[in-house]
Structures are given as C-alpha cells and as structure tokens.
Amino acid sequence: MDQTRSLPARPTVDWREGRAEEAAALAAGTLDPEHAYLAQLFPDSMLEATDAVLAAFEADTASWGAAPSDERVLGAVERVVLALNAVNEEHDGAAYETDERERLCAYIDEVLIAAGVEIGALAARQGLGRHEITDAWRDW
C-alpha cells in the first residue's frame, strides 16, 4: 500500500462543515429555521454510510501496484458506485442530489488519478467519454 499518495478530501468533509456552519447560525439566531435544510439533506446515517463506502474504495485503490488493469480499475469503480447506489436507496433514493452526484463522481476520478490511473485513456479504451466511467452502474 502506498502510504505517500495524497487523497482528495471526501465530499462528506464539506457536507459536515456545511451542517456545522448551519447549526452555528441557527444557535446564534442568524439563520431562520425555515431556511435550515442541511441536517435533513445530510443526515448522520447518510454521511457515515458514504464515508464507509469511500474508505473501502480508497483501500481498494491503495492495494494496486503500478499500472492496474482496466478490469481491476473498472471493478473498483463498479463496487463503489453500487455501494453508493445502496446508500442512496437506504435514504429513499434522495441521498445524492445533483451537486452531490457531481462531487462523488469527481471524487472517484480524483482517487483514481491519485492511484496513477489515466482516466481519459481508460475511458477511451472502453469506448466511453471521459466522464462516463460510472454511468454503467450509477442510479444516483
């Protein structure tokens, strides 16, 4: 496992920070409760489940040597996407809205890049567009 590779911050970091800022504004009385939505949008159960899925993906990619096969990379992408589908389903199909979807896809790409994967080349070998590597499995 490569202990020196730098991974991007998980999207859940920003989601938690947003919740904390919103809670502070509510406590300070600077935010009307009618305009508070982040605790509902990002419940603890969704954040914890998403973190667990992303941690498993990170561990999977960390085990790769140089130049992992397309099959290995796509297998990891399939597993993370299917696991995120399950989290989404557990939250009534509403865990990930448009912004969250984009952030998760970008995170998957960034982790793959940190693992040495050239995503454009991988996608081209598979007959996919650069931003289509999750599409075959993604329900969210």
Residue 2 pLDDT exceeds 80:
no
pTM value is 0.91
DSSP state of 33: G
* Average confidence (pLDDT) over 44-57: 98
* Average confidence (pLDDT) over 26-35: 94
Region for 65 from its dihedrals, namely left if φ exceeds 0, alpha if ψ lies in -120 to 50, beta otherwise: beta
Locate 62 and state its tokens: 């960390």
Contact call for residues 62 and 115 (beta carbons, < 8 A)? yes
Residue 22 pLDDT exceeds 80:
yes
d(CA 115, CA 2): 9
Assign 66 a pLDDT band (cuts: 50, 70, 90).
confident
The residue type at 102: E
* Average confidence (pLDDT) over 57-82: 95
